[in-house]
A and B are shown apart, each in its own frame.
Chain A
């Protein structure tokens, strides 16, 4: 029986090639989108699956409240380590201190490279499940050792055995390679850990770290934990909540709250608001999941509509089958089998589409997703998808077509009832509602990105280059380098900074000034800069003056931004003295010498934070900022800069970044989402149009005789076009009225997440509606005009 069903289905597909192509092609596109989104979601949800103890690993997070504003982050102070080891040992299997993942300059012989790595405590190889392929698994035992990822070892040593060989780091310390581990796969935290150096090496060689051993106020490190086998994550998290607050009075006023963020949440749910976890990337998983389901639904609607539109053609067959003994249930099975066949073809085509587009998608989404040929889970889900889609797309046609009464269809009096087209119309309305909503959503996402991109940054990014200077080799050479760079003509100005122009790496509190309200809990973005910083990056001085080489007291000077003026409540900021509020060991007083314009250093969607630019007295800089000479080509200037750099620092790799490119990274996530949703919207519209195209051709075919008669009676091609298009345009109009308020509601909600956001304007909605109408007219017109231009004699003769 089943064979008979499939045979009929196959011959039906062959007989109506155009229809089959639209049906299978549309469905294949829909399934391909669903598959790609499915693979993407799987990749997102399986992030960190490399780690065996994923369920018991967590990072310690801390919330602090300054003037009612609660901020949460992974930075913790050093004394927390002994506090947890001593007081809560039973709760943890491991407690591991770690530095931030940072760029390191690695040198072997004459080879200089830059890689990212961490300083970690001895249990790191076990904690991170490292697969040690050479050397000692306990590779962080010796203080002067370094463990290398396989790829880094290969770059540094080629085919030689690296174990026991020396790597020089930051051109300061010689470390012995103790082990080589397999690179941590892309889809995991720590995948950028190209090397690991013992934590003790880090602590022993930095006085400021040693000085922070008892300082609860310096939150500059990370702590990872693995809870004990019998412990419960939320219970342990609750237990350590007030450890810092209880042990340290000085910082208690900021209400420090500790918590464990489980590894499962690092990637998808690491956003906090007012100290509470509020999701994160998971919202994109939901977003794309919904898009995938909708696109698949649109494709299924095509199938339903085209199948039922052809009902009059299939009616005779239904009548015959019923009259010779076919039960309705058998006919339902037959139509479902047809649907299954179409879906199987579409699935095969979809797999081909996915294979062809996966590389492009990976580039776009910054993923390394491979087609899961060998995953039983994938094939299980694929089978589920095929069955689900067959049922979704085939159930309505099956129920509808099998309901025909044989007596009607065999008498030849069968006409689809007055309201038989209604479900079809509702489905078209649903399709276009989704499409119009997608168009509006995409336009608004793009607008918001552009809005933030066009926001004045407060300085000039063009021709601004930054060079990392993470080595003591650079100490006290700033003036010398500046002279050489400027003297070469390649650079017009240079200054150093303790963090990149596009970021804030340090926040400080613990200062006082005249007029500071009692109980005011200050918190400032803190950047240490050299004399010509404002001039180099073209940051406008609004009041007072820039640092000067000629004024010795400027080494105790600071520049503050506009927001800081308002934040500190200063009426005449210039000249204000800033005092360290540490009573036991106060630092020297500082004096505000100028006010600079606000510049965006954090999120372009957030207000600028109150910030201080402090004269760098202690070689705390991490970057050279260079303004390239605008009168010569950037490549020429960079070549000169590189030559000068290598002459002075032969043991340091030369590396640079354009600030505008770094700044562009801030939009990368939104940009990717925007581009992807743009592509999916385009596909959704394409699928809807395919369906509409098919539907119009059937309507035109059904009304061939009517069109012939009308033309004989004098109807023009325009009249016929109008007659056929009008019905569809009405449906699209209804869709617009449904889609606009929904899209407004959803997108308005989305925009609320961004303090700096675009204002929704009516024309966006107008444009989307116009777009939908334009697309409909184009789609419908092709068939309508074809029908309208047919010779009426021909169409009447065929009747």
Chain B
């Protein structure tokens, strides 16, 4: 039964000098789902996200991954266990080539990452796999380009390819479509859907079009606590949710296609 949930938080609390940013959140992410975390500004989404990825330490409560307590694990450790995160600002290595970006994620498994006496060409055995990953996100023709020169949407695609290289069981995406134009949003949304096969995705996202289109479960946070949870259709008509969102964003919730 516990195996149904890949990630579980139990009464998660984070306080910042008297301010309670996250107040007793119980989150259960079902294996194989795309799970979206939404909520108005200041609801604590990013804080929850940073707690899950260990970039912040919780004040109280616990986090469980595949039934194991990972509350006190280090960020690099959980990455090795199969939880890989993305960042709000696109997280590529700007002055490395597109291929090298993906290869960095692959090379850790070779076990030679501390070998300063080995030539770089020993990494070339990874190029085939790296190109496959780039092909998955439609970047194979950009392989030799320096990452900084990619357009924004493509950078996000590169980031996803890099994340996929680690074959994560659970992908945590922090506002994957933030700051994107229409076409890029569609590109990234389809990409998330595509790569979520056989994986679990938990994402913080503002764009209701994306949330409504691809997520199986939605958790709405408000003032650091869970306000509602369920499929999009249930959550969108929940009066508490509508109240929390007040103003313009109500329309956004009601008509996701119109965004």
Query: Do A and B come together as binding partners?
Result: no
**Residues of B near any A CB (own CB < 8 A):** none
**Residues of A near any B CB (own CB < 8 A):** none
